[in-house]
């Protein structure tokens, strides 16, 4: 899925091929620092003040502070009015181990360049190498002729770093495929993303967002049950039928969009 359905764009998904990865990674360290610095109900202005005025990310110049804020906004919105960020923020503090994969899920939803490399990473067997050249080629295949070779080279390196930050790759000079750590909060978020893209029932466990969790379906379902016990989602599975509700994550959203 390179492009998400148009109806998903209102929730914060992005289809425009002007991705943040031409200049930065998913910026996991910065995101963690910023969300630890600001309250759960922080506004976009609060995030701006933390990054630019208070230099919470410890950048050397005002220019780099502003650039970091812009790039974090591109990847995560940093605005509670944007559903993708509000739900990310709802789940963020519940499980520190889940944060890398939560960040990746949101970044893939908001950066088509990163999204274009998902198959190349996910289809690679554990222990096999994943190179910047492979991922740059995936971006070029998705958007032929749009980016110069120099930009593709930088993008490939940034994307490799992002997949390493999320836990899908490991290594120093040579990056190899490993399994990311799937957690109940990431399952809840991935199922929500699938719902917002139009999936329902059993199909929620077959979407790109579910694939990014890097775990077999029976593990995803067991963790969905835990997420349901925690109140993040409502999950029921019986007789081969699946029902998932998002009453907590989609609170204040019109009821017809909550049940899938």
Q: Under 8 Å CB-to-CB from 212, ≥6 apart: which residues?
A: 101, 104, 105, 108, 118, 122, 180, 190
Give the integer Cα–Cα distance in Å for 89 and 212: 19
Q: Give me the residue label for tokens 């999950």.
A: 235
Class of domain 6-177: mainly alpha
The answer to whether the CB of 92 falls within 8 A of the CB of 121 is: no
Q: Helices 184-196 and 83-92 meet at what angle, rounded to 10? A: 170
- What pLDDT is recorded for position 254? 59
Boundaries of every domain in the chain: 6-177, 184-257
- What pLDDT is recorded for position 1? 72
Domain 184-257: give its CATH architecture.
Orthogonal Bundle (1.10)
- The secondary element (H helix, E strand) that includes residue 222 is helix 217-229
Per-residue pLDDT of 43-101, as tens digits, reads 999 999 999 999 999 999 999 999 999 999 999 999 999 999 999 999 999 999 999 99
Distances (CA, A) of 108 to 55, 163, 175, 211, 244: 27, 11, 20, 12, 22
């Amino acid at each position: 899925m390179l492009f998400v359905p148009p109806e998903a764009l209102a929730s914060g998904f992005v289809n425009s091929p002007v991705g943040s990865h031409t200049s930065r990674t998913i910026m996991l360290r910065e995101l963690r620092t910023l969300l630890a610095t600001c309250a759960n109900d922080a506004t976009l202005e609060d995030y701006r003040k933390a990054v630019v005025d208070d230099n919470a990310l410890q950048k050397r110049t005002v220019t780099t502070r502003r650039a970091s804020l812009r790039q974090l906004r591109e990847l995560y919105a940093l605005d509670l009015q944007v559903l993708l960020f509000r739900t990310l923020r709802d789940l963020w503090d519940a499980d520190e181990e889940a944060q890398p994969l939560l960040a990746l899920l949101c970044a893939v939803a908001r950066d088509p360049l990163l999204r274009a490399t998902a198959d190349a990473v996910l289809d690679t067997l554990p222990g096999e190498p994943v190179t910047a050249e492979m991922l740059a080629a995936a971006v070029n295949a998705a958007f032929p002729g749009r980016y110069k070779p120099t930009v593709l080279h930088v993008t490939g390196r940034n994307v490799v770093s992002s997949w390493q930050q999320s836990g899908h790759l490991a290594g120093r000079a040579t990056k190899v495929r490993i399994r990311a750590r799937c957690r109940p909060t990431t399952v809840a978020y991935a199922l929500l993303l699938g719902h917002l893209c139009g999936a329902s029932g059993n199909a929620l466990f077959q979407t790109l967002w579910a694939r990014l969790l890097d775990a077999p379906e029976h593990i995803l379902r067991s963790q969905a049950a835990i997420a349901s016990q925690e109140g993040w989602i409502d999950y029921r599975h019986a007789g081969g039928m699946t029902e998932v509700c998002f009453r907590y994550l989609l609170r204040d959203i019109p009821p017809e969009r909550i049940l899938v």
